[in-house]
Chains A and B, each alone.
Chain A
Amino acid sequence: MVSFAGWEMPVMYDSIIEEHRAVREACGVFDISHMGQVFASGEGVEEWLEGLLTNEVAALEPGNAHYTFMLNEEGGVIDDLILYRLGDEDFLLLVNASCIDLDVAWLEKHRKGEVKLENESSQWAGMAVQGPKAAEVYTTITEGRTLPTRNGVDDLKHEGERLLVCRTGYTGEDGFELFCPAGQASHWWKALMEAEVKACGLGARDSLRLEMCYPLNGSDLSPQRSPLEAGLGFFVALGKGNKGDFMGSEILAKQKEDGCAERLMAIEVTERAAPPRPGYPVLDEAGSPLGVLTSGCLSPSLDKGICLAYLPVSRAKIGTQISLEVRGRKISAQVVKKPFYRK
Chain B
Amino acid sequence: MIAPTDLKYTREHEWVRLEGEIATIGITDHAQEELSDVVFVELPDMGDIDKGSPTAVVESVKAASDIYAPLAGEIVEVNTDLVTDPSKINTDPYDTGWIFKIRITRPDQINELMDASSYTGMVS
* Chain A residues near B (Cβ < 8 Å): 11-12, 14-17, 20, 203, 206-207, 272-275, 277, 297-298, 300, 327
Q: Given A15, A273, A277, which contacts B36 in the complex, CB threshold below 8 Å?
A: A15
**Chain A, residue nearest B87 (CB):** A17
Number of residues in B with C-beta < 8 Å to the partner? 12
Among B40, B61, B62, contact of A273 (Cβ-Cβ < 8 Å): B40
6 contacts between A and B (CB under 8 A): A12-B62, A15-B36, A17-B37, A207-B61, A275-B40, A300-B61
- Please, which residues of chain A bring their CB within 8 A of the CB of B36? 12, 14-17
- Chain B residue nearest to A298 (CB atoms) is B39
Dominant secondary structure at the A interface:
loop
Residues of A within 8 A of B18 (CB): none
Distance (Å) between the CB of B89 and the closest chain A CB? 13
Contact, CB under 8 Å: A274 / B57: yes
B contacts with A: majority SS = strand
B57, B62, B83: most-surrounded residue (chain A CB, <10 A)? B62
Residues of chain B contacted by A207 (CB below 8 angstroms): 61
Q: Other than the known A16-B62, A297-B62, A298-B61, what 20 A-B pairs have Cβ atoms closer than 8 Å?
A: A11-B62, A12-B36, A14-B36, A16-B36, A16-B60, A16-B61, A17-B36, A17-B37, A17-B61, A20-B61, A272-B83, A274-B40, A275-B39, A275-B59, A275-B61, A277-B64, A297-B61, A298-B39, A298-B59, A327-B42
**Per-position 1/0 for B42-78, Cβ under 8 A of A:** 1000000000000001011110100000000000000
Residues of chain A contacted by B59 (CB below 8 angstroms): 274-275, 298
- Min Cβ gap B31→A in Å is 15
- Looking at the complex, which one of A12, A20, A274, A277 makes contact with B42 (CB distance below 8 Å)? A274
Mark B residues whose CB is within 8 Å of A: 36-37, 39-40, 42, 57, 59-62, 64, 83
B110 CB to closest chain A CB, in angstroms?
29
Contacts of B60 in A (CB 8 A): 16
- CA–CA, A222 and B37, complex, Å: 31
Q: Shortest CB–CB separation between residue B94 and chain A, in angstroms?
A: 20
Contacts of B40 in A (CB 8 A): 273-275, 298
Given A274-B42, A297-B62, decide whether A15 and B37 contact each other with a Cβ distance below 8 A.
Answer: yes
Q: What residues of B have a CB within 8 angstroms of the CB of A298 in the complex?
A: 39-40, 59, 61
Query: In whole angstroms, how far apart are the Cα atoms of A333 and B37 in the complex?
Result: 23
With a CB–CB cut-off of 8 A, which chain A residues contact B39? 275, 298
- In the bound complex, residues from chain B placing their C-beta under 8 Å from that of A327 are 42, 57
